[in-house]
Structure 1
């Protein structure tokens, strides 16, 4: 029993490494062949240079796991793979795809008898050592077939993974997970900025966050990571105030609107990321000019 892995970026490569450590046979493809060749030397996986070569290497019924960026990259790979796959093969999308895209893809592939499983994967660069939290959506039968691989990837055989429901549900749960993540990060950032702002108290952010890690109701992995980098640098003077946003935060906010469910924390956290990217610059200039117009207040030039 082997598995094909497509997309050897940071997460995909580490997932392949973890599978190999767990004794699983992995056939890997990456757009840059040098990456898979190096992984082959390091882990003993089988490197291939085309989808066709991968399909030939996999035992039927096949399991192919995608770890690609959402959108065109994933869709293009599925479009190329679908004609090569046979009925009862399984295609797993482990990227951060929009759950409605996953529902559509699952319905389309099912017409050819191909099983589609959407897998939301969390764990980042720490997943290799700690395991990945995996949220899946799909039929029960195909899920049972990929369970041996899931159990190796997850933090434990019976922990850190869950079959959420039908196709689309895995990526839906991962979408909401990331929305919650946005809110938690924003709250920590704002709170620690307030503590730093009280300069007359001369407080040690590293010591405070380290203390919070033990017994506090806000203890979390995010807090662990924050405490670690604050030990090295509390000023962050060399860090630009720019925070990227993934599609998942936007999709979560849109879902809240569609359902009519208030989600102000997650939505506002997303807006703050937009602000950090310069999207608030022009509105702020407008505000300054309006204030000058009605009150004669001075504005700052470049």
Structure 2
């Protein structure tokens, strides 16, 4: 099958390679001319035989919007556009409506697999009309892992990215649990082999997983993670998951806490903790740590002898 691939970065480039190895004719476009087969989106569309399938693999938000808008002007009735990035499911519905005016089909596809997808295959979560999904099935079959699992037509337009959004939210929670367990083991005076403890869990335990395998791999490279800074970005899907939970009145305490932990990781000096420290000093005289070069304030510091307010009558 012939397909156009827009965006040949870490994910898109490996996906294009997996498709080529699977016998498909892939025409790729990227802003980096050293990896691109064509010089523009217009040339990409012209190289493809109708009815065309174009897979967009660019960052969510403005880059995806711009790409979809441009392709919408170039594609024709009967063509299909697949958004395989991490777009918000609400945007999918808007894109589908706009493309439908020109008779262009739209499929949203959440993709998981990272840098290992070329070798192991990609988990695919799709949304859209069944007729459009069916037309792209030869591509899905090649990209997915071998076996029955690894692909789902989750529902109508937006369902694929909604499922991927929740998947990433779960991922946040799992990673945070491993992170907290590692920190506690490292802080312990009893456990001497933290890396070995994680490795021992890889067989026969209920938490064995590929994520645990990757954790051990990371510790093999840097046993105490001394070369890393405790700073974690978020791709946006964690935020969307929490927002969707609010919209649907579904409690997500673990995923929400994991998202907030990433926010906290970016603070060298937490403003909120300054307030907590100040209040503990005020009501209990607990010691606080001053700015660089200043002394700690203890129980005899200002505020330690402040009397509690009278109870309201």
Q: TM-score range by the shorter chain?
A: over 0.9
Is 1:137 paired with 2:127? yes
Q: How much does 1:59 deviate?
A: 0.9
Map Cα deviations across residues 25-58 of structure 1 (whole Å, 9 max, x no partner): 000000111122xxxxxxxxxx011011011111
Q: How much does 1:105 deviate?
A: 1.1
Q: How much does 1:299 deviate?
A: 2.7
Kept after mapping to 2: 8 A contact 1:132/1:160: yes
Task: Give the alignment's TM-score, normalised by structure 2.
Answer: 0.90
Within 2, Cα distance between the matches of 1:292 and 1:193? 28
Unaligned runs of 5+ in 1: 37-46
Could you list the runs of 4 or more consecutive aligned residues of structure 1 that deviate by over 4 angstroms after TM superposition?
none
Counterpart residue number, 2:28: 28
Deviates more, 1:78-87 or 1:288-297: 288-297
RMSD (CA atoms) = 1.4
Larger Rg: 2
Within 1, Cα distance between the matches of 2:137 and 2:188? 51
Q: How much does 1:206 deviate?
A: 2.0
Please show how residues 78-89 of structure 1 align to structure 2 within 5 Å: 78-89=68-79
Of the candidates 261, 272, 275, which is equivalent to residue 272 of structure 1?
261
Give secondary structure in 1 for the equivalent of 2:266.
helix
Q: How much does 1:101 deviate?
A: 0.8
Q: How much does 1:228 deviate?
A: 1.4
Map Cα deviations across residues 137-195 of structure 1 (whole Å, 9 max, x no partner): 01111111111111111112643111111100000000000000000000111112212
The count of corresponding residues between Structure 1 and Structure 2 is: 291
Counterpart residue number, 1:76: 66
Within 2, Cα distance between the matches of 1:283 and 1:35? 46
Unaligned runs of 5+ in 2: 293-313
Give secondary structure in 1 for the equivalent of 2:228.
coil
Give secondary structure in 1 for the equivalent of 2:186.
helix
Within 2, Cα distance between the matches of 1:291 and 1:134? 50
Q: How much does 1:130 deviate?
A: 0.4
Give secondary structure in 2 for the equivalent of 1:33.
coil
Counterpart residue number, 2:17: 17
Is 1:8 paired with 2:8? yes
Counterpart residue number, 1:239: 228
The structure that is helix-richer by fraction is 1
Within 1, Cα distance between the matches of 2:174 and 2:224? 21
Is 1:177 paired with 2:167? yes
Please show how residues 1-302 of structure 1 align to structure 2 within 5 Å: 1-36=1-36, 47-156=37-146, 158-199=148-189, 201-278=190-267, 281-300=270-289, 301-302=291-292
Distance 1:280 1:218, change over 3 A: farther
